[in-house]
Structure 1
Amino acid sequence: MSDRPLLTREQSRAVDVLAAEKYHIPGVILMENAGRGSAELLIARRPASVLICCGPGNNGGDGYVIARHLDLAGIPVRIALLCPRQRIQGDALINFTILEAAGIEILDFADESLCPSFAQSLDRADWVIDAMLGTGVTSPPREPIASAIGQVNAATAQVMAIDIPSGLDCDSGVPYEPTIVADFTATFVTSKPGFAKPSAEPYVGEVHVVDIGTPQALLREVFRS
């Protein structure tokens, strides 16, 4: 995987589109592979208690998958939901519905910017997973995610970013205000161009590539584009 080209924002989108439309791979399968691979990385670090901060898109969906696999491994895990439930759609909604049925604790912070109970939830975790914003970010995070990023950065827990630290531009490596400061980043398919920029170095931490089951033929097609 290390010799693969870097995956830009547009190429990341192309992977999802081609997987569904040409290679007949439902997005929920890619999300499952991404979440499970990320969970395995964290389980190897023996977390005692995990808080997963989830935004409205597929990045949040990856977080829901991670929560299920951590729970299966016997690791205490809770979801901090940072968007209204009605904004969760598609593959992310499938996995959110599974979590609800499984009884994994979901804490609702959708309508709060600076919330004492969110800070208390952070204090109870030794690891925080950033599954708030993904590679589509091209502007500063908005509330309540902006405040959540600030509180996560101020907490003592170690931080794992999913695909990219929330607030970081994946192509340019520009950190918007605010941006998650991660101890390590589990990124999908291959690394991103912005990660190699000096401006991104304080935010990404160690970068680990998680394969999500995309065929080699698909990747060759994307990298040629």
Structure 2
Amino acid sequence: MTNDALSRQAVRDYDANAIAFGIPGPVLMENAARGAVELLLSLGAVGPVAIVCGKGNNAGDGFVIARLLAVRGIDVWLELVVDPEELSGDAATAFAPLASLGIERQPFDEEKTTRRLRGAEWVVDALLGTGTKGSVRSPYDRAIDTINDSGRRVLSVDLPSGLDADTGECLGPTVGAERTVTFVARKMGFANPRSAAFTGQVHVVPIGARPPSP
């Protein structure tokens, strides 16, 4: 963990540095998800927990969170904004074991997802990560609105979906989280006072490697 805020590029450098020193991407993802689950448990979460996922590494964190919650006996399900066939890399690896655990996986549908989310204790936002640039596009914009309309407690993974990691400005619809669990260090955009309305309380957790030297 570092006290220095990380930019989008610094996050990429951190991951590349960790992998170069022999820490595989799935291990970093496992450590990140474990930190998120420990935070949820410390906040008294008992479930059910709905995890709304995209397709990148942010979604991969969400998949591992789902697995770790399920093995602890917490009712959890996924709302998938993309077809699982579109998953690749570490996200696909993280998704693979979920079926054997009986974790329910529902395709995102605005009306049905809205109804399902209202039955959750917590909604985990694992849609978009630090690499997001440009305007939030469909179906992510609709998924973000659905999370915000749920009225549930929301935990965002690394940063709220729709928030720019570098500037802290909104790229379109943006998740309004109660808590944000961010990895390694706060993101540069969190210094923007306007970002606090979306991040809620920020919790920084380590994921098992040192950041690259400046």
Query: TM-score band, normalised by the shorter chain?
Result: over 0.9
Does residue 154 (structure 1) correspond to residue 149 (structure 2)? The answer is yes
Deviations 1:123-151 (Å, cap 9, x if unpaired)?
A: 11021000000001112221111101111
Tell me, in whole angstroms, the C-alpha distance in 2 between the residues paired with 1:141 and 1:99: 28
Tell me, in whole angstroms, the C-alpha distance in 2 between the residues paired with 1:199 and 1:176: 13
**Could you tell me which residue of structure 2 aligns to residue 86 of structure 1?**
85
Q: Amino acid of the residue matched to residue 163 of structure 1?
A: D
Instruction: Please show how residues 15-164 of structure 1 align to structure 2 within 5 Å.
Output: 15-20=14-19, 22-47=20-45, 48-109=47-108, 112=109, 115-164=110-159
Q: How many residues align?
A: 213
Q: Amino acid of the residue matched to residue 57 of structure 2?
A: N
Does the CA contact (< 8 Å) of 2:5 and 2:187 recur in 1? Answer: yes
Structure 1 residue runs of 4+, over 3 Å off?
none
Tell me, in whole angstroms, the C-alpha distance in 2 between the residues paired with 1:25 and 1:169: 27
Q: Which moved more, 1:3-12 or 1:205-214?
A: 3-12
Deviations 1:24-63 (Å, cap 9, x if unpaired)?
A: 1110000000011101101122223110000010000000
Deviation at 1:4, TM superposition (A): 2.1
Structure 2 counterpart SS, 1:200 = helix
Q: Amino acid of the residue matched to residue 70 of structure 2?
A: D
Tell me, in whole angstroms, the C-alpha distance in 1 between the residues paired with 2:105 and 2:205: 26
**Could you tell me which residue of structure 2 aligns to residue 174 of structure 1?**
169
Does the CA contact (< 8 Å) of 1:11 and 1:223 recur in 2? Answer: no
Identical pairs, percent:
42
Deviations 1:69-112 (Å, cap 9, x if unpaired)?
A: 11122111000011121221111111100112222111112xx5
Tell me, in whole angstroms, the C-alpha distance in 1 between the residues paired with 2:80 and 2:150: 18
Q: Which moved more, 1:157-166 or 1:78-87?
A: 78-87
Tell me, in whole angstroms, the C-alpha distance in 2 between the residues paired with 1:99 and 1:137: 26
**Could you tell me which residue of structure 2 aligns to residue 190 of structure 1?**
185
Tell me, in whole angstroms, the C-alpha distance in 2 between the residues paired with 1:151 and 1:60: 17
Tell me, in whole angstroms, the C-alpha distance in 2 between the residues paired with 1:205 and 1:171: 17
Structure 2 counterpart SS, 1:151 = helix
Higher relative contact order (Cα pairs below 8 Å, separated by 6+ residues): 2
Instruction: Structure 1 unaligned segments of length 5 or more: list them.
Output: none
Alpha carbons of structure 1 residues 126 and 64: separation in structure 2 relative to 1, 3 Å: same
Tell me, in whole angstroms, the C-alpha distance in 2 between the residues paired with 1:49 and 1:108: 18
Deviations 1:143-165 (Å, cap 9, x if unpaired)?
A: 11110111111111000000000
Tell me, in whole angstroms, the C-alpha distance in 2 between the residues paired with 1:5 and 1:54: 28
Deviations 1:168-194 (Å, cap 9, x if unpaired)?
A: 001101112100000010000000111
**Could you tell me which residue of structure 2 aligns to residue 206 of structure 1?**
201
Q: Which moved more, 1:126-135 or 1:45-54?
A: 45-54
Tell me, in whole angstroms, the C-alpha distance in 2 between the residues paired with 1:106 and 1:81: 7
Deviation at 1:223, TM superposition (A): 4.1
